[in-house]
Every structure is written in structure tokens, then in C-alpha cells.
Chains A and B, each alone.
Chain A
Amino acid sequence: MSWSVTKNRYLWWGVSVVTIVAGLVAMVISWTNPQIQAPLKLGLDFVGGTRLQVVLDCAQAGACDQPVDLADVRAILSEQGLGNSSLQVVDQTGISIRTQPLDVDQRTKLVSQLAQGLGKFDPKQTQIETVGPTLGRQLLNSGLLALLVSFVGITVYLTLRFQFDYAFFALVALVHDVLVTIGIFAILGITLGVEVDSLFVVALLTIIGFSVNDTVVIYDRIRENLKIHPENSIDDVVDDSVNQTLTRSINTTLTTTLPLIAIVFFGGETLRFFALALIIGFVSGAYSSIFCASTLLGWWRQREA
């Protein structure tokens, strides 16, 4: 089996560009949306606020016969001046409320009002999260800084191990993967209301660490093949190298994403979108290594020659 990746390179680049542009458009739409005002729908971790999740205590007879009525909850919230909070019913007997940051007294008052209106809650299932707005901003800043630092670190390392143009195109592939993942989450934010939290930043950094693996493996081959066959054109070398590493790329992507796919479908709520972000990033990483990083390198070296 031999197939030329460099022949249709404009097609491959086109696929990437279209995906990225779609994501960018989604980010702009999300930015102009008065309810989001950011490229991504930012979660509690970044904007600050209080999330309160309470579940009715079903041990008491009759407490859980009826699902929670959102109108009741909204009435209680408006009474407290929290009318603009977002509300969600969880598994019929639970409610998840997101408000501006509340201090202890405000929160205690809210919970007791809710308990009066709806019934007793089970303390074992209560979940409270409060993040101050300053901390949120710090988290966001340090997350972005971490992204930048790893970009620089990886570029320096690859320049030392290979050459600068290798490192540069690996970086292009990395930015590609990050943009694709962010773009898809921007789309998910608009359509399904998916929020990004600090785990999303973790996912992005893991994608960076991992998707560059794929690029490095192909680069390693290109460097080796250049040594063995210095007489071949760079495009041929790239084609050979991609072919020789293709099975590995597919198999590795498969083995890493299999447990993640299982988590998306059967795992707990907390990790679902984290795992999804990783899957998107890893698949995009495999794609960009094969179709972008290597073909760009070939195109660049050919121009030089």
C-alpha cells in the first residue's frame, strides 16, 4: 500500500482551514451573544459565581412524588433578587442553580428558602461551588500562560532535536489542534450550552503534549529517510515516511481514544466533556501530523531548494 499525501496537499490544508474558520465564526458569534460575550462559553471556574446543586431527600414519604417545578424555584430566586440566575432540573428531584457569587449568609438564606418551598434536601448530595471573580481571572490567565509556555518549550526542544523549520511546522500543527478543539467547543457552547472550565485548559495542554508526539514520530522518519536516500525529492521522502508510520498513527490514536470514548458514553458527568475535548484534540492531532505538519515541511523545503 503506497499513497501520496503530498499530491493532494491543498485539499488537506483546505479541510483544516474550513474547520478552523467554522470554529472562528462560532467564536465570533459567541462573542457577540450578550449572554456569553467571550469566544467560548466560560464556566464558573473562569467568571466566578456560585453553583448550588441540591437534591430532595427522598427517604421521606411523598417527598419525591412530583418532579421539581422550575416556576416555584424561579419565584423563590426572584424574591431574593436572583432572578437572572440560570436553572436546571437534575434527575427530576434535584436542581442546579448558578448565580452571581453569594456569601455564606446569602447562600444559607437561599437554601433555607428553597427547602421551605420544595421540601427537605439530602445533605449527602448537596454540591456547592463558589469561585470569586478575581480567582477566576487568575485561573484563566495562568491557563493561557501555561499554553504559551508549553508552546515555547516544545518549539525550543524540537529546534534542538531537529531543526527550526521542523519545529515551526510542528508548532503550526499544534496551534491547528488547539484551534480545532476550541472551535468545536465554541460551536457546542452556542448549540448545546456546553461550558468550558479549568479541566478544558488541562485538556488543551494534554492535547499539545500528545499530538506533537505524532508529528515527532513522522519527523523522525523523515530525517532518517533523508539520510538513507539523499537523492530522493523531499515530497517522496515525506510520502514514504507518512506511509511507514501510518499504521502506527492509526493504532495509537485508536488505543488512546478507546478508553476516552468509554468515558464519554459511560463515565461520570464531570469527566464527559473533558474526555470529549481530548478525543477531538487527539484526532485533530493525528490529522494535522499526517496532513499538515509533514506536507508543509515538504512544501517549504522544496521551495527552498
Chain B
Amino acid sequence: MGKHRGFLLVIVGLLIAALWVIVQTPPRLGLDLRGGAQLTLQVKTTEKVRQITPTILEATLKVVENRINGLGVSESQVQTAGDDKLLVQLPGVTDPEAAERVLKGTAQLDFRWQKPGTEAQLPIEKQLEGQLLFEQIKLLAAQAQLEGENKPTELAENQAALDKNKESLAKSAAAIQNLFEKTDLTGAMVREALASPVGPGSQSWSVVIRFDTQGATLFADLTKRVAGTGRSIGIFLDDKLISSPTVSVEYAQTGIQGGSAEISGGFTAQTANDLAVQLQAGALPVPLELVENRTVGATLGQDSIRSSVIAGIGGLALVLVFMVAYYRLPGAIANIALMLYAIYTYAVFLLLGVTLTLPGIAGFILSIGMAVDANVLIFERTREELWAGRTLYRSVESGFERAFASILDSNVTTLIACGALFWLGSGLVRGFALTLAIGVAVSMFTALTCSRTLLFISLTFPSLRKPNWFCPRLESAR
């Protein structure tokens, strides 16, 4: 009996933990439920870039991220998908047109030189932009929170502030652009860009750029023009200043020769790498093609979540009634295990940060139906043992023992199908496979451990130890 008490503690402990997780963590709803746009972009090969390597994909991701940040959408997300695709999620966006326009096309990297007489202005403008960006981050976070809280007035106010901030940012970017003049040196002439430590064992990093022959000449020219003047070279990606290094006076005669340049100045390994990746991306003229766009209005998502959840719960209620009606006491205990199953599984979803999509919810509802199967197998076995004249305790025990092989085999086959889905599927399909697989794994635990423990504990109460409560009509049949 001590063993069962121990298990009971574990079950109750897990229940408290799961409930705590559910109260603490808000669910992550997929775009099909909360409304928004999901765009899939394919990175195309060109004559120059014949194969999309992980580096290229990573670099393109950075470019797309930059562009998305320019849109000012709260909780936007960019992920790689497969070998050559990017998945962009824009929750709450009902009009994906702006996004589509911004996302298409090739990244443009170019080098500009600062106009004379603007030395004092640049730091001021850069500081202003920094402040605006900081403000934007705060506003976006507030927006995401307000959306969750359903406060329309505050939401509208915040949205207005956000729009104003976006406008100021655009103005500030234009002001910065105005301080520079275009040159002929573009990203197409960059051969590579790397982050490298300044010296051995040093904490400080720099970014090394290598140009092709034409780029080397242009770069020497450019550096000669600004060396020692206190003005800087402007490195622009998609017309946005990403870095503005100055050139020291020693290069005033010849410019930086040899087609290789080093941008130094307070980089950490991380920031140096970020800049290198951005430069690399600008150097890659890989076009993006929009291959998929799914936009769901906010109301539509909510309607279908509501009706499906209500229907699913209704169906489950019928299952619960059936279990008690048919299996009596064990059925009631299986129902408790089933509810534990639902709570545990939902908590695991939240812990793993699973995004709940409509198919995901279907997978969840389905897995509840399947979780019953293990208990049905066990109770059928228990009944057979009772018919064969065993004692109640012994029957329950061998019910669990003998059903185990079947439960294991049938769940493994389901997991194999889940594995195939997860491995070969994408997007929604993967979500379904993952939720179903988690469901199957948790159901093994609840069916085998929870119902077993609860059943044996109930057997310690003499008032519950009646074979008729396990198998109606047994006594009269004997």
C-alpha cells in the first residue's frame, strides 16, 4: 500500500504543478485562431548563387527580420523552414499587402559617404533614432499585452502612439539618409564579411570585409575621401544605416588599399557577427518569392475555435458518461485519470511553448478519445479475470499486467505515424503531429500509473470492494 500512497503523492504533486503552469502561462495561439498573416518566402537561386546554403538562409533571415522590424508588428516572428524557406508570422495583421511588398525583392547593400559639414548632426540623429527604437520596443510589448487583456480604448491609444512612433522613425531614417551621398560601391562587390577577434585572447571584435577587384578600387577612393575628416562611411542595407565607421587619418593619401577592410570599434562577438551576417546578406543578391500567404481575420479564428472546443467538450462529456455507465467504478476512476490527462497534457503544451492551432486542438481532442482506449483494454481484461473466478484484487492486477503489451504496441505504431508526419510535414501538419505525440506519451502515463494507483487505493476501502461495482451481473451469473 505504501507504494500506492507514494504514487498518489506524485500524481497530486504533478497536478498542482500543472495547474500552476496553466495559471501562469498564457497559451500561444496560432495565427489561424487569433487572426493574422502567415507568409512563406522561398529563397531563389540565381546564376551567381547556385545553391542555398545554411549561411545564405541565415543571412536572408536577418534581412527579412530587419524589414519586418521596420513594419512595427508586435510579436512578429521569422523562422527558417526547410532548406530554402522562411516562415514569417504577423499576428493581428489583417492587411498583409504592406508586408508582402516589403518582403519581396532583393536586399540592397551599399556604401555611401558622409556629406561635408554634417559631422555634428550624425550623432544627434543616431541618438534620436536609438531613442525612437527603444520606444518602439516598449510600445510593441504594451500592444501585445493589451491585446491579451481586451481593453479596446487603451489598445487604440497605444496603436496611435505606435503609428506616430513609426512615422517619426521614418522621418529620422530619412534625415540620416540625407546626411550621406550614394557611391557606386554596392553589396554586389562584397566577396565576404567575417567577424574576427581583434587580437589573440581579446574580448573585442571587429568585422572584416573583402571586396572584389572593382570594389577594392572604389573602396580605396571612398576611404581616401573621408579619411581623417571625422566624417564616416555609411553602410546602408535597404536604405537603412546599419553602421557608420570612420577612417583614420593615415589613409588620407592613398585610401585603404588591397580590397580588404576592417571595421572596428566596440563590437562584442555577438554584435560583430550580426553585422557580418547583414553585410553578407546584402552581398547576396538572392531574390525572395512569396510561395504561400494565409491571412485569417480575427473574428473567423475565434468563431471556429469556440465551436470546435464546445463540440469537442460535448463529445468528451458523452465519453465520460459512457465510461461510468458501462464500466462502473473503474469507469469513474478512468474518468478522473482522463481529466488528469487533459490537465497534464495542456500544461506540457504550455511548457514546451507549443503553438495551439486548430488542427492541434483537434489532435488534442482526438488524443483524449485515444487515451480512453488503454483503460478500456485494462478493464475488459479485468472483467475476463473476474468471470474466470479470480479475486477482485488479483483480477485488477492482472488486468493491468496483461493489457500492457497491447497498449505499448498500439501506442508505438501511433508514434511511428506521428514521427513520419513530423519529419516530412510542415507548419500546421507538424503542430498536429507534435500535439498528438505528446498526448499519446502522457496518456500512457495516466492510463497505466494514475488509474492503477487510484484503483488500488479505492480497493483499500472495504465499501468499494464489491465485484458488482466492477462487473455488473457477475454475482448472479456465478
Contact = CB atoms under 8 A, between A and B. Distances in A.
B380 interface: yes
A146 B406 contact: no
Contacts of A142: 424-426
The secondary structure that dominates the B interface is helix
Interface string B405-437: 110011111111111110111101100110010
A209 interface: yes
Interface string A125-145: 111111110110001001101
B408 to A, nearest CB: 9
B409 A125 contact: no
Interface string A190-225: 000000001101100110111011101100100000
Contact of A270 (B299, B358, B368, B433): B358
Interface in A261-288: 261-263, 265-271, 274-275, 278
B322 interface: yes
B305 A268 contact: yes
A268 B303 contact: yes
Contacts of A126: 94, 295, 297
A217 B311 CA distance: 29
B297 A124 contact: yes
Given A135-B40, A153-B419, A216 B312 contact: no
Contacts of B326: 251
Contacts of B299: 122, 124-125
A32 interface: no
A255 interface: yes
A252 B376 CA distance: 7
B378 to A, nearest CB: 10
B377 interface: yes
Interface string B299-314: 1100111111011101
Given A201-B429, A205-B421, A255 B369 contact: yes
A255 B376 contact: yes
Contacts of B432: 202
Contacts of A92: none
A103, A108, A123, A259 interface centre (most CB from chain B within 10 Å): A259
Nearest to B94: A123
B424 A132 contact: no
Interface of B: 32, 35, 37, 40, 42, 94-97, 100-101, 104, 289-300, 303-308, 310-312, 314-316, 318-319, 322-323, 326, 358-359, 362-363, 365-366, 368-370, 372-373, 376-377, 380, 384, 405-406, 409-421, 423-426, 428-429, 432-433, 436
Interface of A: 103-104, 107-108, 122-132, 134-135, 139, 142-143, 145-147, 149-150, 153-154, 157-158, 161, 198-199, 201-202, 205-206, 208-210, 212-214, 216-217, 220, 244-245, 247-248, 251-252, 254-263, 265-271, 274-275, 278
18 contacts: A104-B104, A132-B291, A132-B292, A135-B40, A146-B425, A154-B417, A157-B413, A199-B359, A206-B366, A212-B413, A213-B414, A252-B373, A256-B372, A258-B322, A259-B368, A260-B365, A268-B305, A268-B308
